[in-house]
Amino acid sequence: MASDNFVDYVKIHCKSGNGGGGSRHMRREKYIPKGGPDGGDGGRGGHVIIRGNDQMWTLLHLKFKKHSKAGHGVNGSGNLKTGAEGRDEYIDVPIGTIARDSETNEVLFEISEHGQEEILMRGGRGGKGNAHFKSSTNQTPDYAQPGELGQEGWTILELKVLADVGLVGFPNAGKSTLLASLSAAKPEIANYPFTTLRPNLGIVSYYDNQSFIMADIPGIIEGAHEGKGLGLRFLRHIERNAVLLFLIPADSDDIGKEYEILLNELKLYNPELLDKRRVIAVSKADMLDEELMEEIKNQLSNLSILFISSHTNYNLQELKHILWKQLKDG
């Protein structure tokens, strides 16, 4: 996936259509000079509708089209004719897109399947024609309702990446290097924090032409659930991963503590993330000898960990076995 083409956050402005006005028409025919009111209702304004599309994987198309406008309803006319409805405006988005109110940050809805439609901005209702207002005391009402105004405002669309395995770890844990080693993905790799500024996806090949998708999520830091670092911009992607692969570098000051911090950040963001299946790997294992590996195992005797090295391919095949088993057993 070309990272420059992957957009997972956009802010768009939408305006639904105004409703058409009701008609004040009076029936006037050759032999019926005083036929009374026969004004029809106005048509409703067009809705702005978000629609799921499983052929899309990015919000890039909305980066350059930030304004969407639906059509206005047509006014009613004589002979009780209702005006036509305004044209609905459809905005196609990938599966996993959530819509938020730009002012309150409230989640409005999530698109979870192909073809799902959610009304983002509702079109104004059409006004009633004067035929509705005829009564025993007012046989010829000369008034009708105007159409309602449409809705208008800014909305935030965020995409949660769908992947089988999500890589979780601090910046510089070796996540991008591992993804590049296991797949054909070419994420940017450098020795400074936050090299990865957006999720990268890679297809990891397994036996018999089978494969699974792995996502390199930008690094977590302590306080990420409060928006620190890249914060909430990446934590949402983890929600759609079936298995979480925790990656902790061998040169970490305290591997156990680092794992607990990562786990706590996920818990504070969304406690349900702790229900996902987990695999723990210690990266950069080429820096360790067998004695140091045994020492780390003894320190983390309550955890099942796997030592790996993306540079020497140490235990990478075993890691694929473990991840595949977790995916299939789930």
3-state secondary structure 207-274: HHHCEEEEEECCCCCCCHHHCCCCCHHHHHHHHHEEEEEEEEECCCCCHHHHHHHHHHHHHHHCHHHH
Domain of residue 308, CATH code: 3.40.50.300
Q: CA–CA separation, 62 vs 46, rounded Å?
A: 20
Q: CA–CA separation, 46 vs 52, rounded Å?
A: 19
Looking at 159, 177, 205, which one is the last position of a domain? Answer: 159
73 and 26 share one domain: yes
Q: Report whether 292 contacts 286 (CB < 8 A).
A: no
Tell me what pLDDT residue 187 has. Answer: 46
Tell me what pLDDT residue 247 has. Answer: 92
Instruction: Enumerate residues 6+ apart whose C-beta is below 8 A from 122.
Output: 16, 47, 150, 151
268 and 311 share one domain: yes
Range of the domain at 243: 163-329
Tell me what pLDDT residue 330 has. Answer: 61
Looking at 99, 124, 159, which one is the last position of a domain? Answer: 159
Instruction: Enumerate residues 6+ apart whose C-beta is below 8 A from 143.
Output: 24, 130, 133
244 and 320 share one domain: yes
167 and 268 share one domain: yes
Looking at 159, 189, 220, which one is the last position of a domain? Answer: 159
Instruction: Enumerate residues 6+ apart whose C-beta is below 8 A from 12.
Output: 62, 65, 66, 67, 68, 91, 154, 155, 157
Tell me what pLDDT residue 2 has. Answer: 41
Tell me what pLDDT residue 1 has. Answer: 40
Sheet holding 163-168, edge to edge: 200-205, 211-216, 163-168, 241-249, 277-283, 305-307
How many Cα atoms within 13 Å fall on the side-chain side of residue 273? 24
Tell me what pLDDT residue 230 has. Answer: 47
Q: Report whether 124 contacts 83 (CB < 8 A).
A: no
Q: CB-based burial of residue 315 (10 Å sphere; 0-12 exposed, 13-18 middle, 19+ buried)? A: middle
In three-state secondary structure terms, 167 is strand
Cα–Cα distances (Å) from 232 to 22, 112, 171, in that order, read 47, 20, 15
99 and 240 share one domain: no
In three-state secondary structure terms, 298 is helix
120 and 217 share one domain: no
24 and 131 share one domain: yes
258 and 272 share one domain: yes
58 and 87 share one domain: yes
218 and 72 share one domain: no
Split into its structural domains, the chain has a count of 2
In order along its 330 residues, the chain shows pLDDT tens digits of 444 566 888 999 999 999 999 999 998 777 777 778 999 999 999 999 999 998 988 898 998 899 999 999 999 999 999 999 999 999 999 998 999 999 998 999 999 999 999 999 999 999 999 999 999 889 889 999 999 999 999 999 998 877 889 888 887 778 888 988 888 655 444 444 444 456 777 888 888 888 888 888 775 655 544 444 444 556 777 888 889 999 999 888 888 888 898 888 888 888 888 899 999 999 999 988 888 888 888 877 777 889 999 889 999 999 999 999 999 886
In sign, the C-alpha dihedral spanning 232, 233, 238, 244 is: negative
pTM of the model as a whole: 0.71
201 and 306 share one domain: yes
Domain of residue 142, CATH code: 2.70.210.12
152 and 216 share one domain: no
